[in-house]
Chains A and B, each alone.
Chain A
């Protein structure tokens, strides 16, 4: 199937099998390895990207569903002003240990702050409930999101 979509601001044309997972295209074809494969079934958030501004798991997206969509990966997002604020907040809060989950958490944070620039703790925990972290115990991650929101990551 011929698919046209925008990846990190650039138009892409691909001829791929319709069921090919976006995750495999990003990692295998484009070498964008910020997305990780954890569970492969939508439960861990390690493969998360932004599609039209919303966090989605790329292991669950077949290329056939991507026509005309705007995909942002952790690599490109962290080059942006907002991305840098969120990344710095994760470091400041000590929210990163092994780092496997971190790109996904940053995508989920971006998606939350797009919709709600000033979330309370319950809203943060709800928005991050699709991401698993085996190291930090989440408290530092919640703090990171608050720091990022406080520094205006939702506004710019």
Chain B
């Protein structure tokens, strides 16, 4: 078995993916930790590593119409430095890891790692982002929310590489992101909340709410959001209890080393309340 392979171009990488069992390797900030064997020892991988982070075809970053297209090898630092990256997304990225990790880590890696604690996921779910999957003979596009099927599980086929991410643009006048964790340099999110809304004349025109780390998957419910769309902001307090009950049924956290299920549930419901009451009520003209 080959230990590693450095393709010169994307087509060569896709040939490798088709012909042998490989692990796509981007920044390695998840892979190196997951395969570590201790101090001074080389991490152990049971397949050939296919290094994709230098592929020029995956380093692209552009706006196509109003859709942001991000190549799979673009790092979190590069996203933070790019003027086209929306402010609220930058706020999320700034709270991920520390600079040396962000200089290596990719958005594609965060998606493919498919952790319910992946900090970019609530944003990608809320924005209806899509992933582009390429194999030697086929290209397909899937919503991120469908691509991830369960913790650590995705719909990626063995011969496919994720080559890019597409984020359709949307304008919001109410934006709130909260990440609860311990020390910032570390990867441990206890719970995260993202609320995005656009309002006009005291009415909600568009609203999206996503929560991370509080269920086996990212929590986003269009059904609950649709109860809010078209409503007057001043009517929110009247339906708040019902909305919290709806969300409560979806928030199914676990106890782990980072936090307890009870804490996660309570804090999530309070963050929802804070967004719907404190952030939104300010927008009544």
CB proximity of A52 to chain B, nearest CB, Å: 9
A18 to B280 CA separation, bound complex (whole angstroms): 52
Do the beta carbons of A1 and B3 come within 8 Å of each other?
Answer: yes
Decide yes or no whether B36 CB sits under 8 A from chain A: yes
Could you tell me if A20 and B103 are in contact, using CB atoms closer than 8 angstroms?
no
Which residues in B have some Cβ–Cβ distance to A below 8 Å? 3-6, 25, 27-29, 32-33, 35-36, 38-45, 49, 51, 53-54, 77, 94, 97-101, 103-104, 184-186
Contact check: which of B36, B42, B103 meets A54 at CB < 8 Å? B103
Closest chain A residue to B6 by CB distance?
A67
What is the bound-complex CA distance between A130 and B36, given in angstroms?
Answer: 19
B9 to chain A, nearest CB (A): 14
Instruction: Tell me whether A61 is interfacial, beta carbon within 8 Å.
Output: yes
Footprint of B on A, CB under 8 Å?
1, 17-21, 24, 28, 37, 40-43, 45, 48, 51, 54-57, 59-62, 64-65, 67-68, 108, 111-112, 126-127, 129-132
A-B contact pairs, 15 of them (CB 8 A): A19-B3, A40-B36, A41-B36, A42-B32, A55-B99, A56-B100, A59-B32, A60-B29, A62-B4, A62-B49, A67-B6, A67-B51, A111-B99, A127-B99, A132-B185
In angstroms, Cα B43 to Cα A24, docked, is 11
Inter-chain contact B6/A1, CB cutoff 8 Å:
yes
Rounded to whole angstroms, the CA-CA distance of A126 and B28 in the bound complex is 22
Is there contact, CB below 8 Å, between A130 and B51?
A: no
On chain B, the residues within 8 Å of A68 by CB distance are: 54
Q: Which of B3, B42, B101 contacts A24 (CB 8 A)?
A: B42
A57 with B42: in contact, given A42-B29, A62-B32, A130-B185 (CB under 8 Å)?
Answer: no
Give the one of A18, A37, A57 with max B CB within 10 A.
A18
Report the Cα distance A115→B249, complex, angstroms. Answer: 46
Supposing A18-B3, A62-B25, A64-B51 touch, asked if A56 and B42 sit within 8 A by C-beta, the answer is: no
B185 touches A43 (CB 8 A): yes
- Bound together, the chains give a CA A145 to CA B232 distance in angstroms of 51
CB distance from A142 to the nearest CB of B (A): 15
Q: How far is the CB of A94 from chain B (nearest CB, A)?
A: 23
In the assembled complex, the Cα of A57 lies from the Cα of B276 at a distance in Å of 41
Tell me whether A40 and B103 are in contact (CB under 8 A).
Answer: no
| Other contacts beyond A55-B100, A61-B104, A67-B51: 10, CB < 8 A | A19-B43, A43-B185, A48-B100, A55-B99, A57-B100, A60-B104, A68-B54, A111-B99, A126-B99, A129-B99
By beta carbon, the residue of chain A nearest B3 is A18
Instruction: Provide the bound-state CA to CA distance between A140 and B6, in Å.
Output: 43
Smallest Cβ-Cβ distance to A59: which chain B residue: B32
Residue from A17, A40, A48, A111 within 8 A of B38 (CB atoms) = A40
A42–B27 alpha-carbon span in the complex (Å): 12
On whether the beta carbons of A130 and B28 are closer than 8 Å, the reply is no
CB < 8 Å neighbour of A62 from B28, B33, B98, B185: B28
Asked if residues A40 and B39 are in contact (CB atoms below 8 Å), the reply is: yes
Give every chain A residue within 8 A of B33 (Cβ-Cβ). Answer: 41-42, 60
Instruction: Say which residue of A1, A21, A56 sits within 8 Å of B103 (CB atoms).
Output: A56
The 8 Å CB contact of B3, one of A17, A65, A67, A126, is A17
Chain A residues in 8 Å Cβ range of B101: 42, 57, 60, 130
